Structure 1
Amino acid sequence: MIDNLKIKSLFPVYLLGFLFAFHTALPTYINSSFLNFFISEKLVGLFYILASLLTIICFLSLPFILRKFGNYRVAFFLIILNLVALLGLAFLKNPIFLLTLFIINLITIPLIYFSTDVFLESFSSNKVTGKIRGIYLTAVNLAWVVSPLISALILTNGDYWKIYLASALFLLPVLLILMVNLRHFKDSKYEKSNHWQTVKVIWKNKNLQNIFMANFLLFFFYSWMTIYTPLYLHKDMGFSWREIGLIFSVMLLPFVLVQFPLGRLADKKWGEKEILSLGFILIAISTGVISFVMDKNMILWMIILFITRIGAGTIEIMCDTYFFKKVDSLDAKVISFYRMVSSSAYILGPLLAVLAFNFLSFNIKYLFLVLGLIMIFGLKFSLSLKDTK
């Protein structure tokens, strides 16, 4: 059971996570359409690749930066930088500046999530890791459910600047919570980074290796779905942004509904291995089906995308629960590598999509079939795990 002191310590982190997720989610599904104003949809992925490469470089430096400045100062600086980038996206007109700020925005988001992980993990213990991560992810994903509806209401006549301004405004309470509740955060003694040594540690531990690969596949899924689903629904299927906002809000409900109970189940009854495998089966089948849906029917699209996110939500909570049972807040270098997985996926995913579009004359709808087939490989990694019980 989580004691009262721990609940009091965790609540600001949960609230910070909710508000930061809301800020992140508001522009996420319009980002690719915003880029499409300046470049072809076949090249949109290149900007995600560049941002992800730079993010990886930042992640490799994070353990050193944490030792020098501490997690509070790092989080404060990153939030201010993210705020400046969003205000620039809202008010500047120069395409070069806008594209540069767009990349800065993409870089700072996963770094801030990493910083939040450090705060959260410092208050966690293995016996309740699933419960703590489940509550945190439920709070985060509740914001993701609501945000597409808000974005759809704000977005009129392609006024993307309004979305970026709203996103910037939601960073202000995040900054306030950080300053009021986490200013006196006591950092663990972060170990010195030896990146090659960290890679060897992960590689020699088959369970860590498998959970890293499972997490990589999840973010590979996100990289294609986040970039290409809104483009496909808007440009190919002809849905309006308001319709897309409603579809995405329903689509994201499983993240709120399944992650907390599944986190508790992983702590109390079932093993992560079985639940994770079920998640990969669901995500593979439902994603592949998308390529064969030609009907512009909102209910049908809601159901199919809803099932994809039941799979994704299951994989996400099981990966996080399993991983954070294996590490603690002292393992900053291992946590940074774990969070670096998302950036790696956002390099390979868009790169393969760009190559498919430009050299194979690939139709965007077939990306979903290929993605479903790729997700089946997740079973190789999930079934190889040794449960933490």
Structure 2
Amino acid sequence: MPIKKKHHERIDKKKIKLITFLSFLMGVGGSSLYYIISSYLEESVGEANVGIVYSFTYLALFFLLLNFHKLINKFGKARIFFVLQFVKIVILTMLGILPVASFDAVLVVGFLMLSYITWVEMDIILESFSMDKVSGRIRGLYLVAHSLGYMVGPVVSTQLLGKFGFPSVFLFGMLLNSIFFIVTLLHFRMMKAEMREVPGIRKLMKKVMADKNLRGIYIVSTVLEIFYTLMVVYMPIYLLNQGLSWAQIGLIISLIHVPYLVLQYPAGMLADRKFGEKEMIIGSLLLLGFSTTYIYSIESPSFFVWLAVLMVTRVGASILEILRDSYFYKQVDAGDIDVIDFFRTASPVAFILGPMFASLILLFFSMKAVFIFTGMVMFLGIVPAMGLVDNLSEEEIMIKNGAKTAGNRWNFWRALERRFDIRKMIKTGKF
């Protein structure tokens, strides 16, 4: 059943530009810390306990996101947002001035959870000032700014770490988060929650799973997050085993963000104007599946070989990321805070499931098999993607209304959808 019959939309271009700038700040602040936190935890709790800290963080985050809409409804969107931002600044200050100790793991867990919650809340705020017909372009620009920040952050943090140690990186993060806090306080302090209801966890899950489009895009999102999780955890280790240095790996990690800068806005614009999201979601999943599976066959210490292969994987991932967000936010509006929170549980779910299955694989096979598994998961994501009801683009709306003649491409995809009805195929087993 659909969540609602009508969207409540208003667009504010000034607010959207400001939120895009804040996305850049989040990218710089987040990436400057994410890449050094595991090393910091190794010093504070020991190498053997680093995985436990991350597992606990994402498990706690999963349950927090499922109930976060209740906190917003009770205390208000603005109050929750600014209190959490202030707590995050306090945590970073403590990490920057206190000596390394086991207690720091608690602070790190708090920081990681609050950082992800900030990203979710900014999603909700952006949706408050967006419109469906330009959602792809707005989300594309928003993610491009974030990706640009992700390229800058590691460069700054590694320089600070090499010269001044961990405290300087945390204090740099505190400075960026303070700027973020002041800007949001000045411009968004009057924002109000637009919740329609406060469902429990069971009712919320039933609500989402009853809507085939929300269910399908959630599964697609989880598939993408599994790709990110397994590549982040296992790719650096695999590249080291192939003979690459940390300096080369760091450069590769920075350069593979280029597709996010170059492709996400155009992909969002094409989804709005020409194709809708469905066809490109399927195409990007195919590209991700083939390119990730291909990693299994590579045995090379060449920097350029690995840069090329991983760049292709990120072409698929960058396009899928913007189309996933564009499709989802055309199904909801800012009042669906509970559904938005649930949608963002895909990342912690992936961080729990991905390494668990990978660990089982590594009991019987080499690390190369993890990439075969990852590729197969990408291919499986095509099944729910084919079941999505596509959002009509501006061109398709004109064709439907008779204002424009359908081209061969549009007729081809509609014929293909009629020929391969995924629900009928699953039910009857016939093609």
Q: Same fold (TM over 0.5)?
A: yes
Deviations 1:210-245 (A, max 9, x none): 100000011111111223333444x53454444333
Q: Secondary structure at the match of 1:288?
A: helix
2:374 aligned to which of 362, 371, 379? 371
Matched, 1:82 2:88: yes
CA distance in 2, matches of 1:78, 1:198: 24
CA distance in 2, matches of 1:56, 1:10: 28
Highest CA radius of gyration, 1 or 2? 2
CA distance in 2, matches of 1:263, 1:91: 43
CA distance in 1, matches of 2:260, 2:165: 29
The 1:104–1:230 alpha-carbon spacing in structure 2 relative to 1, beyond 3 Å, is farther
The CA deviation at 1:365 is: 4.0
Matched, 1:325 2:298: no
Give the match for residue 149 of structure 2: 143
The 1:255–1:57 alpha-carbon spacing in structure 2 relative to 1, beyond 3 Å, is same
Task: Please say which of residues 166-175 and 155-164 is displaced more in the overlay.
Answer: 155-164
RMSD between aligned residues: 2.5
CA distance in 1, matches of 2:314, 2:38: 20
The 1:322–1:306 alpha-carbon spacing in structure 2 relative to 1, beyond 3 Å, is same
Matched, 1:164 2:170: yes
Matched, 1:128 2:128: no
CA distance in 1, matches of 2:244, 2:157: 15
Matched, 1:24 2:15: no
* Residues 85, 101 of structure 1: 8 Å contact kept: yes
Q: Equivalent pairs: percent with the same residue?
A: 33
Task: Please say which of residues 157-166 and 82-91 is displaced more in the overlay.
Answer: 157-166
Give the match for residue 247 of structure 1: 252
Equivalenced residues, count: 383
2:385 aligned to which of 360, 374, 382? 382
* Residues 67, 201 of structure 2: 8 Å contact kept: no
The CA deviation at 1:104 is: 1.4
* Residues 280, 376 of structure 1: 8 Å contact kept: yes
CA distance in 2, matches of 1:13, 1:219: 23
Matched, 1:6 2:9: no
CA distance in 1, matches of 2:132, 2:282: 22
Q: So what's the TM-score if we normalise by structure 1?
A: 0.90
The CA deviation at 1:113 is: 0.9
* Residues 191, 330 of structure 1: 8 Å contact kept: no
Higher relative contact order (CA 8 A, sep 6+): 1
Q: So what's the TM-score if we normalise by structure 2?
A: 0.82
* Residues 11, 129 of structure 2: 8 Å contact kept: no
The 1:352–1:99 alpha-carbon spacing in structure 2 relative to 1, beyond 3 Å, is farther
Matched, 1:270 2:275: yes
Unpaired runs of 5+ residues, structure 2, are 1-9, 393-431
In the TM superposition, 1:61-210 aligns within 5 A as: 61-156=67-162, 159-210=165-216
Unpaired runs of 5+ residues, structure 1, are none
Matched to 2:389, the amino acid is K
* Residues 83, 171 of structure 1: 8 Å contact kept: yes
* Residues 289, 374 of structure 2: 8 Å contact kept: yes
* Residues 288, 317 of structure 2: 8 Å contact kept: yes
* Residues 361, 369 of structure 2: 8 Å contact kept: no
